[in-house]
Structure 1
Amino acid sequence: MIHQYKSNGYNIVMDVNSGSVHVVDDIVYDMIPLVEPLVTEGIKDADTIKAAVLNLANIPYPQEEITEAVDEVLELEKAGQLFAPDIYENYIFDFKKRQTVVKALCLHIAHDCNLACRYCFAEEGEYHGRRALMSFEVGKKALDFLVANSGNRVNLEVDFFGGEPLMNWDVVKQLVEYGRSLEKPNNKKFRFTLTTNGILLNDEILEFVNKEMGNIVLSIDGRKEINDKMRPFRGGQGSYDIIVPKFQKVAESRDQMNYYVRGTFTHNNLDFSKDVLHLADLGFKQISVEPVVAQPTDDYAIREEDIPILKEEYDKLAVEMIKRKKEGKAFNFFHFMIDLQGGPCVAKRLSGCGSGTEYLAVTPWGDLYPCHQFVGNEKFLMGNVDTGVVRDDIRDEFKCCNVYAKDKCKKCFAKFYCSGGCAANSYNFHGNINDAYDIGCELQRKRIECAIMLKAAEAAEASEE
């Protein structure tokens, strides 16, 4: 499978199955779609392919240049870097039979929040239920469950999530201490993370976070007027002025690493690149601003007609990032970060985040769900920290959720980068986890194109030095 596109002056060719990416000149770019169907039909003889291409009308290149370009295309094919076969589909049978181990938990330490974000899927932290704080006893059982169900895996992850986890800070600290006590006797290593809106952040909390948390996610939507419209207190007043200085202090105290500011853009700020750049201008180097996922009836939902505007915004952002890097003002945009050399393992490429299998969410009272976005939907209640997973059917359904189980993914060039997208979004829009959220897919494909263009620009700059 080949995907070709032009971006910021680069002719980019992706060979989806091999993962190879090429920046080529105009004639090679134009020859590839002419050669591909011939190779796909099993024609391997170079002279036959050249003759077939030369017989095609309306090719605006001299014969000698055409034959040279076809030779270049065929050399890449021989090297396995163009028109490569799909080697991953053969893994599916074994993939479905693999032993399930749990490697990560999302602990809903607080089903309560001190903000009233308009787009919050957690309903101000309540998750379609009641306000509650996780007790140390429930959290302790959750960590015991994780250790007991992690098999031989050493590195385990626990994210303190909400609502707003700082509303239950004492229990967070107790659970980190308990987790550390489990490490040596069980040959485990916990990586704790925290997602916070920052309202309750103070120096004492920051000192603990910097000592114990591998990562911290700081929620802010960008410009003051955008943030305060979508992330107000319950009384309507904005949160921007309170959190910005705190977040700047966090970023600097962590040497601009192992954190990111995470925002959400909506129909209200389709010019979201300005929000990303605003955060960069505030001094943040690790930035994520993502499209809202909302029902079409919500006035802030992203609409189909918004997609062309948003694609232009991603292009503008990518070009500006190249400019700023040259000026010594580089920053990372989470959705443009891509690894073309190593990349994720086969399991990650095929099934993504591991929700419902390797990754589970735990409610304040100890119920287990496939991930935080399924919490509160009783159809996906898998068990609890006392009984463990009792709904093997749910786990097996998620285990079989992969890019080959989704018709929309099979012919999509982005499938090995997005790994089939979010199961919760699929369920919320289509009623099953093996579909895909179409608007999200469109934007994901654009982000991947921009990410690869940035790599092309990086390579071009390195070659000029």
Structure 2
Amino acid sequence: MYAPLHGVAFAATNGMVAALSAVLTGGEGGDQNVAAFARETGLLNRPPAPVTRRRGTPTPTEVTLFLTTACNLRCTYCYASAGDSPATYMTMDVAKRGIDFVIDNARREGAPFAGVHYHGGGEPSVHWGLMTESLAYARERAGDLQVIAASAGNGVFTDRQIDWMITNLNGGMSLPFDGLPEAHDKHRPTVRGTGSSARVMHTMRRFTDADYPYAVRLTVTAEQIPLLPDSIEFVLSNFTPKRVQVEPAYQLGRHAGEPDAETEEFIAAYREAQGRAARFGHELIYSAARVGTLTNHFCGITQDNFCLSPAGNVSACFEAFSEDNEFADVFFYGSPGPDGYTFDMDRLDRLRDLGVEHRSFCDGCFAKWNCAGDCYHKSLATNGRGEFTGSQRCHITRELVKDQLLTRIAGSGGLIWRDDHTGEPCGVHGGTNE
């Protein structure tokens, strides 16, 4: 049994479930031992739901710069289809405007740091000059205010670039690496059609040798599901990522129409892979299975996420990186203005209202406050713009949340687990700042 808002999960017989149900509904003649257990665990209380909502004009203290849509890889499952369209590049003026805005907000709000991060529909390091110059500008502009910088990247870097990242990206890096080199190379070729695994492994070795914080994400296509356990063992036997995330390939971009990896076979392979990861002291990350996190927000789209497209407009979503994205009218909510940016408050308020508490399909789901409704961009791609009606990811999430609960119960003596969650490093970039 799992009571997420009470922070407790425990093993129970059918008889215990029935007796506890009677106690919780106030039935006559309830078992006194069960009633005492319910009191001791707080189950008779009604804790508030973990619902928060932003209001008013946004004052972000972190910016994510989508530097370019150009990329030096041609991944078969790229959600952005990078390389299929003419590339766009951010200018220094666009970057400066965003950096000035968040640093000024951070000073005004008394924030402990300002954040400058790199992501987008291409590979940020391809626009190397702007990446390095924008961060140098941010640190100079911030003065004594700390700047936390992090990036997603494909790992195909020169040693000079790696040196700079280790020195300057103090929030860590997130690298895609699909495990076994043959699995990685099949789906992540360079623009010349050659494999990229050797370059990515070199980057990870450099990061490992420098004790630099990085996370690894494995994307699993349908035909490579059987390789997942061996891929996890390969990664953890050879490298030292802070986090290892595993996701089935999304049927977006170049992978649209390909065989579905969101299957029972994926769940089984994930479970075997988790067993191997445990031997290295790791718990695999699946983005919507987050026992220890209680929230109504899956990601930053409901929390005024402040990302700039190459053209300088404001998006709340990493996957809506350009104004021609199918769902740009949902996620783009700002543009350059006289005081930094002009915000479409109606559109922003619609994003703020996308918390899981407003999603009727999720009512009654035991994983509701852990998953928080999953990725809204993928929800739109799956369900369209109508009411969310669920997806195969919902089943995967519930199964993996259940696994996490059973692991925690077993690790707490086999009967009851209490959530003493005190915060974890960011699972996106691998560093210690969210």
TM-score band, normalised by shorter chain = 0.7 to 0.9
Point out the structure with the larger helix share. Answer: 1
How far apart in 2 are the matches of 1:121 and 1:17?
A: 35
* Contact 1:425 1:436 survives alignment (8 Å): no
Equivalence for 1:274: 230
The equivalent position to 1:120 in structure 2, one of 78, 82, 90, is 78
User: Partner amino acid for 1:379?
Assistant: D
Which digits, 9 at most, give the CA deviation of each residue in 1:293-351, with x for residues without a partner? Answer: 21595224325xx2x222222322233334x1xxxx333523399564xx45xxxx012
- CA contact under 8 A between 2:70 and 2:82: conserved in structure 1? yes
After superposition, the Cα gap between the structure-2 partners of 1:427 and 1:74, relative to the gap in structure 1 and judged at 3 Å, is same
> Cα–Cα, structure 1 residues 157 and 35, in superposed 2: closer, same or farther, change >3 Å?
farther
Q: Distance in 2 between matches of 1:139 and 1:457?
A: 49
Equivalent pairs: percent with the same residue? 19
Matches of 2:306 and 2:385, distance apart in 1? 18
How far off is 1:100 after superposition? Answer: 4.1
User: 1:265 is matched with which residue?
Assistant: 220
- In 2: Cα distance, 1:211 partner to 1:302 partner: 38
Q: For the residues of structure 1 that align with 2:390 and 2:179, how far apart are their CA atoms? A: 25
Distance (Å, rounded) in 1 between the aligned partners of 2:386 and 2:126: 32
Matches within 5 A, 1:319-398: 319-322=275-278, 324=279, 329-335=280-286, 340=292, 343=293, 349-355=295-301, 357-376=303-322, 377=325, 378-380=328-330, 381-386=332-337, 388-398=341-351
The superposition leaves residues 40-82 of structure 1 with CA deviations (integer Å, 9 ceiling, x where unpaired) of: 4322x6xx024xxxxxxxxxxxxxxxxxxx61x3223113443
Q: Is the contact between residue 220 and residue 240 of structure 1 (CA under 8 Å) also seen in structure 2?
A: yes
* Gaps in structure 1 of 5+ consecutive residues: 1-12, 51-69
Residues 229 and 77 of structure 1: CA distance in aligned 2, closer, same or farther (over 3 Å): same
Amino acid at match of 1:298: G
Given that 1:403 and 1:419 are in contact with CA atoms closer than 8 Å, whether structure 2 keeps it comes out as yes
Q: What SS class does the counterpart of residue 319 from structure 1 fall into?
A: helix
Match of 2:22 among 34, 38, 48: 38
Aligned 8 A contact 1:423 1:434 in 2: no
Aligned residue in 1 for 2:132: 173
- Residue 85 of structure 1: aligned partner: 46
Tell me, in whole angstroms, the C-alpha distance in 1 between the residues paired with 2:45 and 2:271.
Answer: 29
Moved more, 149-158 or 444-453: 149-158
Compared with structure 1, are the counterparts of its residues 433 and 265 closer, same or farther at alpha carbon in structure 2 (3 Å cutoff)?
A: farther
Given the superposition, is the C-alpha separation of residues 97 and 235 from structure 1 closer, same or farther in structure 2, using an over 3 Å criterion?
closer
Work out whether residues 66 and 124 of structure 2, in 8 Å CA contact, stay in contact via their aligned partners in 1: yes
* Cα distance between partner residues in 2 of 1:211 and 1:436: 46
| Cα contact 1:119–1:292 (8 A) shared by 2 | yes
Give the total of aligned pairs: 399
The alignment's TM-score, normalised by the length of structure 1, stands at 0.77
1:315 to 268, 271, 274: 271
Give the 3-state SS of the residue equivalent to 1:78 in structure 2. helix
Q: Which moved more, 1:167-176 or 1:289-298?
A: 289-298
SS in 1 for 2:140: helix
CA contact (8 A) 2:60 2:305 kept: yes
Aligned partners of 1:145 and 1:385 also within 8 Å: no
For residue 97 of structure 2, the aligned residue among 141, 145, 167 is 141
The residue aligned with 1:67 is none
Question: Does 2:260 match 1:301?
Answer: yes
2: CA distance, partners of 1:41 / 1:407? 23
> For the residues of structure 1 that align with 2:260 and 2:6, how far apart are their CA atoms?
36
For the aligned residue pairs, the C-alpha RMSD in angstroms reads: 2.9
Judged with a 3 Å threshold, the aligned counterparts in structure 2 of structure 1 residues 365 and 447 are, in CA distance, closer, same or farther, namely same
- 2:369 matched residue in structure 1: 416
Residues 158 and 192 of structure 1 are in contact (CA less than 8 Å); yes or no, is this contact kept in structure 2?
yes
Q: Using the TM superposition, give the Cα deviation of residue 425 of structure 1 relative to its aligned residue in structure 2, in angstroms.
A: 1.2
Residue 426 of structure 1 contacts residue 434 of structure 1 at CA under 8 Å; is this kept in 2?
A: no
Local SS of the residue matching 2:358: coil
Larger-gyration structure (1/2): 1
What is the distance in 1 between the residues matched to 2:179 and 2:274?
A: 17
